[in-house]
Amino acid sequence: MKLTRRQQEILDFIHERVAANGLPPTRAEIVAQFGFRSPNAAQCHLKALAERGAIQLLPGRARGLVPIERSSTPRNALPASDRLPVIGRVTAGTPILAVENREEELLVDAGAFSPRPHYILRVQGESMIGAGIHDRDLLLVHKTPEARSGQIVVARIDDEVTVKRLRRRGRGIFLEAENPAYPTLHVRPEQDFAIEGLGVGVIRRGL
């Protein structure tokens, strides 16, 4: 795969953001990172990367840039779709994947995301709009109890489940909103805290 220097820089930036935050950058973030004069310049580079098989552009998604990992899979092979449960409002005190929390199931090409999602969480509220995650968006979640500082996580504090950006400062654990109207949550030692998963992608359904 032959790329121009700028295309390789953009591809590296996409990989870095996915590794650091669990989500690809928005087009606006790419424009700001590389000093483009308009979003159209960034879009032209992204289309070129997609044509060369370096990324997949997913229409209708807030952060629809998926870097493609090279493998032995034939290029003409059809992606397998996984049926993932959509989790609505989580019932207090129950596991997030409990049957009573499930609204529906959606077919998703889970292999297009890294790491692979295991379920979909319907977002409530506007606390993460700065990260491109809006009220009633569908957040694809990779189930894991571990996360690095700076990643977007689904976390449980006592009986409440929230989507925030994880920050670790010394021994302190903080959950930061991506909206100045919402406060940062400081997890107190006496609280029951657990990471339920990492946000790996967003689907916007316009609901």
Q: pLDDT digit string (tens) for 53-97?
A: 888 887 666 567 777 754 444 444 434 458 898 998 776 677 888
pTM as predicted = 0.64
How many C-beta atoms surround the C-beta of residue 158 within 10 A? Answer: 12
- Whose tokens are 């990260």? That residue is 131
Q: Which CATH class is domain 82-203?
A: mainly beta
Q: Go through the chain and tell me how many residues it has.
A: 207
Domain 5-67: give its CATH code. 1.10.10.10
Q: pLDDT digit string (tens) for 26-45?
A: 888 899 999 998 888 888 99
| DSSP conformational letter for 30 | H
Identify the weakest region by mean pLDDT among 150-159, 177-186, 198-207: 198-207
The token pair that represents 90 in the structure block: 């989580």
* Catalytic residue positions, numbered: 127, 164
The reported pLDDT for the residue numbered 79 is: 46
Q: Is 192 left (phi over 0), alpha (psi -120 to 50) or beta?
A: beta
Where along the chain do its domains lie?
Answer: 5-67, 82-203
Terminal Cα-to-Cα distance of the chain (whole angstroms): 39
